[in-house]
Amino acid sequence: MIDPFVYNVDPARIVFGRGSLSRVAGEVERMGCGRALVLATPFQKADAERLAAQLGALAAGVFSGATMHTPVSVTQEAMAAFAASRADCVIAYGGGSTIGLGKAIAWRNDAPQIVVATTYAGSEVTPILGETENGLKTTRRDRRILPEMVIYDPDLTLGLPVAMSVSSGLNAMAHAVEALYAEDRNPISSMQAIAGIRALKNALPAIVSNPADTMARSEALYGSWLCGTVLGTVGMALHHKLCHTLGGSFDLPHAETHAVMLPHSAAYNATAAAGALAPVVELFGGGSPGGGLYDFAASLGAPLALRGLGLAEADLDKAADLAVKNPYWNPRPVEREGIRALLQRAWEGSRPE
Ligand code: NAD
């Protein structure tokens, strides 16, 4: 019996494959544009400059000030660079931070966006933008925010350090695990989620043993696309809300926080969403979704404890209060006592049952 569902899909053009960076120029022209502002973090500035050189007259310039949490002040600087260079589109070259800047520009001036994705965070295929101003984070969802086209070139991920590859891969997996039990899931999103989790489960151990394994890099990037896609199409629940609270209020690092929290949020929902999470038990073993995911993360050398990310034990009460403040849908009711216990275990890094 197929449960009733509603299926929506966002438009997206995806070009995937080794060497596909060389197709950026053609994609700029295909969008009817002629002057692209290339965005990057300071760390990836040289890569962005190489891409701009490759684009020649199609490049309007490089803005390499992208940073975490998409501060509005940085977006304003980038908007000024966009106007001064008479750009007509943006190319975000990098991970979620750079992609966030491209989205923030497009939200304001509707510039067409190309993303060259170099991490597994998945932001490139979502219509979601988180921005910060005066210490406050706001999140909005709008069609204008969704990038028009994405290039996935696995060769560009060969230099992603192993620790970041692992955390970023688990961040991607968390989108898919929550998509499995999403209130508005549909057969396609569940199929994508399972395929995404499976691809990352195969690829991450191979990347840990050989970061230059091109087949594993390709499979991981493919998995991250699928996981990002479900993040963009169905609603997220406890796990993403908890990570949002921990990142926003205690300044914990994004991907690492997802990596630590995933086994614990899956354990919290294990009974209420037993059917939906069955594929996770099948893939990871361990006797339960939380146990299997924890063992997998441990085998990769992933961070396992919030205390290792700099959260003080004294902050756990406040974190629990914040996490239950605004009600939202979750397979199991979100109750303070249960959440406080979950946070304690995640802080200590103990294996969930
Ligand atoms: P990031 O973009 O902050 O990248 C971290 C660092 O790694 C940066 O210095 C970056 O330049 C560098 N880097 C990126 N790719 C590299 C590569 N291939 N080789 C070497 N270095 C590389 O990290 P992230 O985890 O991709 O993104 C996190 C941000 O994205 C958070 O702010 C998060 O909120 C946001 N995000 C948003 C969504 C969404 O849908 N809106 C989804 C996921 C993440």
- In the chain, CATH 1.20.1090.10 sits at 162-348
Enumerate residues 6+ apart whose C-beta is below 8 A from 207.
162, 165, 166, 169, 213, 216, 217, 220
ipTM of the prediction: 0.99
User: Long-range contact list for 47-54, CB < 8 A, 24+ apart?
Assistant: 47/93, 47/156, 48/93, 51/21, 51/24, 51/91, 51/93, 51/116, 54/21, 54/22, 54/24, 54/25
Q: How far is Cα 71 from Cα 275, in angstroms, rounded to an integer?
A: 40
Beta-bridge partners for 212: none
Q: Which residue has the tokens 């899931």?
A: 185
pLDDT value, residue 135:
76
Residue 330, Cβ neighbours under 10 Å: how many?
Answer: 20
Which protein residue has the closest C-alpha to ligand 1 atom 37?
123
pLDDT value, residue 176:
99
What number of CA atoms fall less than 13 Å from residue 243's CA on the CB side? 23
DSSP string for 273-298 = TTTTTHHHHHHH-TTSHHHHHHHHHH
Strands (E), 41-127: 59-63, 89-94, 113-117
Q: How far is Cα 217 from Cα 225, in angstroms, rounded to an integer?
A: 12
**Ligand 1 centroid – CA 271 distance (Å):** 33
Pick the CATH number of 162-348 from 3.40.50.1820, 1.20.1090.10, 2.20.25.240, 1.20.1250.20: 1.20.1090.10
pLDDT value, residue 248:
87
**Ligand 1 centroid – CA 41 distance (Å):** 9
118 lines ligand 1 (CB under 6 A): yes
Q: Give, in words, the CATH class of 13-157.
A: alpha beta
Nearest to 300 by CA among 161, 157, 122, 163: 163
- In the chain, CATH 3.40.50.1970 sits at 13-157
333 lines ligand 1 (CB under 6 A): no
pLDDT along the chain (353 residues), means of 10: 89 95 98 98 98 98 97 98 98 98 98 98 97 88 97 98 98 98 97 98 98 98 98 97 93 96 98 98 98 98 98 97 93 97 98 92
